[in-house]
Amino acid sequence: MPEAASYFKEWSGYLKPEDVARLETAYHFSKAAHLGQFRASGEPYISHPLAVANILAQLHLDAQALTAALLHDVMEDTAVTKDEIAAQFGKPVAELVDGVSKLDRIEFETHEEAQAENFRKMLLAMARDVRVILIKLADRLHNMRTLDAVPPAKRKRVARETSDIYAPIANRLGLNALYQELDDLAFRHLYPVRYNVLFKARKAARGNRREVVGKVLEAIKKKLEHGKIEAGVQGREKHLYSIYRKMREKKLSFANVLDVFGFRIIVKDVPSCYLALGALHALYKPIPGGFKDYIAIPKANGYQSLHTKLFGPFGSPLEIQIRTQDMHKIAEAGVASHWLYKSTDASLNELQQKTHQWLQSLLEMQSGSGDSVEFLEHVKFDLFPDEVYVFTPKGRILALPRGATPVDFAYAVHTDIGNRCVAVKINEELVPLRTELRNGDRIDIVTASHAKPNPMWLNYVVTGRARAQIRHFLKTVQYEESAHLGERLLNQALGALGSGVGTLSDAQWNKLIKDSGAKSRQDILGDIGLGKRLGVVVARRLLAVGDPHTDEHKSSAPIIIRGSEGMAVQFAQCCHPIPGDPIIGLINKGQGMLIHTHDCPVIAKTRSDPDKVFDVEWAPETKKLFDVNIRIVVINQRGVLAKVAAEIAASDSNIDNVAVAPDSGDQYATMHFTLQVSNRLHLAKILRKLRSIPEVVRIARVNSGPGSSAQRRDR
């Protein structure tokens, strides 16, 4: 390709000749591997990895990263293996390529699960080497630049992923230019009409406001020269998605977004930043609440600048950033500045440290997450763009997402502090744990050795770290307790069938684990204890594995239903079975057993499936109360509802719900009751009492599932 030669020439400006030679070898290797493959646009596939490598070269990344960029799709789309890459280009390059590659040859139940697992693999590889995410972000940026060539449905999905995950990660790593372009491209493909309208409006505004911008630039330069402050001054244009977000959040029209243009002042050192700020505040009046000092308190991604908002000429607000040259480098390149400048500057070291802390937090979230979808949820929670800055009792500054609570703060300090948190003092005052933190708050967490996380905390924590650690603790404790209980319940069920847990072979367990989709024996026992599986069903299946001639549904007596089985047994809303009704059990994978009446039309088709349907019977005595729906037609007279309710109460029944609808002629009214009864005899007693009321014309028991009109007359 002609552009390949020009790229290599350009890259030689900062790379050694031997590195450029190695990149040329990688290019030809990748070109041969992708031979015959084309992109959706019709271009040879090699154009994509070449473009990705060039994006990284603009950030002056090292030769290993550029080599991996040229090879980043060969493992996924061709027959080339990781070992082949390691043999020819070295193990570090092979690790980078593997980190960027998707999880192929693994089947997932849903597209969302597959995507989440790919994100988890990539983010964990990034925790080992941050260049993985830099390659992936460059890959995504080129895909977004060429997204017009793919079908509309895929275009929307890729744009949504970019907006939800990739752009926030670029922002979190301080890659400002990448972040803004990804944001704008995602906006263009998600909302093309809105994008085009704003694009044209901003273009028109350039001409309308050019005179104002020119006057402001000239005034700022003169003021800084008068104060003998050496500075570079430049106007800048806000990116489109930033304008759109401001319009949406503040409900503004484009004409009311006056700070479409901002100004950036770059000075030689930190004292000059504050001198420039004073000079500008003397030139234009500052807007109250518009000043932010990100030099004294840097953002979590290492960004440093002074931000101020001023009343400019003609009353239009001006947004101004003041920073040093080093701060500007970090603001533009973020974490990539480590390769870009190889500086020993303290600010760069601090940036690397903050990035490392965030990457370590990803590993902690991974250990506390049950699956990849949950892990991705935690990461999304952690990619908040807005932050609050709070202080520990010793004066250490912590940056937390907007909306964070003392519980988030406690887990940010240390997992043990979060797990043992019982109370909090904010600025020396005791406040609830759900209190939202504000900038400058001084937080003092009160702990107790016996304390443990409260499940209610999950309703208000906002950081991924806190959410992951709370869930991890609750799952671990609950899982251990449930597994012990599940073993006892299974032993009891096996005992009724003349066996026991100790008599089961590994082959029986392994067959059951495979058939049920569980991960281990402990998982099955835990599910029994939590009520997600029935002990008696598991017992029968285990014994059926041991004896291939055993019919697990016919070899034993029906399952006894007591009504107190918890999550394991639920009662269908379509037919509302109550003790005394002939019933049948329907097993739903992962949801336990659903009890229907024998004549329920909802399960007519399912009854022929022996793997899902079980014979069940009511226990002689049940302590639970069951819902049942009845419909009563009455003469529409004053006080009739009170009479009916009194008779129901006198029959030892609770009224869970009641609705009254007059008939069209208003002579009669129809009352719909949801009652709680212990069995059919109890219901019959209630119906006899109600029939004795003179105003009652007709009574019927109703099956009240959605769309159901089935009913039973009282007998």
**Residues in contact with 665: Cβ distance below 8 Å, sequence separation at least 6, in sequence order:** none
CA atoms within 13 A on the CB side of 168: 16
In whole angstroms, what is the distance from residue 623 CA to residue 625 CA? 7
Q: Are 469 and 415 in contact, with CB atoms under 8 Å apart?
A: yes
**Which candidate, 461, 446, 429, 354, places its Cα nearest to that of 398?**
354
User: Hey, which residues are catalytic here?
Assistant: 76-77
State the CB neighbour count (10 A cutoff) for residue 268: 13
Q: Are 364 and 411 in contact, with CB atoms under 8 Å apart?
A: no
In whole angstroms, what is the distance from residue 443 CA to residue 122 CA? 35
In whole angstroms, what is the distance from residue 662 CA to residue 644 CA? 16
H or E element in which residue 454 lies: none
SS3 28: helix
Q: Are 295 and 346 in contact, with CB atoms under 8 Å apart?
A: no
Q: Are 700 and 690 in contact, with CB atoms under 8 Å apart?
A: no
Tokens of 678: 């212990």
672 CA to centre of own chain: 42
Tokens of 618: 């009511």
Tokens of 405: 């609570």
CA distances from 150 to 136, 144, 184, 188 (A): 19, 10, 18, 14
In whole angstroms, what is the distance from residue 317 CA to residue 297 CA? 24
**Which candidate, 439, 465, 466, places its Cα nearest to that of 358?**
465
SS3 230: coil
In whole angstroms, what is the distance from residue 34 CA to residue 56 CA? 21
SS3 674: strand
SS3 366: helix
SS3 153: helix
End-to-end C-alpha distance for the chain, whole angstroms = 87
In whole angstroms, what is the distance from residue 84 CA to residue 81 CA? 5
Q: Kind of pairing, strands 569-571 and 592-597?
A: parallel
Residue with tokens 């979230």: 365
SS3 5: helix
Sign of CA dihedral 382, 384, 390, 391: positive
SS3 671: strand
Q: Are 491 and 502 in contact, with CB atoms under 8 Å apart?
A: no
CA atoms within 13 A on the CB side of 538: 34
Residue with tokens 């802390």: 357
H or E element in which residue 596 lies: strand 592-597
Q: Kind of pairing, strands 613-618 and 583-588?
A: antiparallel
Q: Kind of pairing, strands 668-677 and 654-662?
A: antiparallel
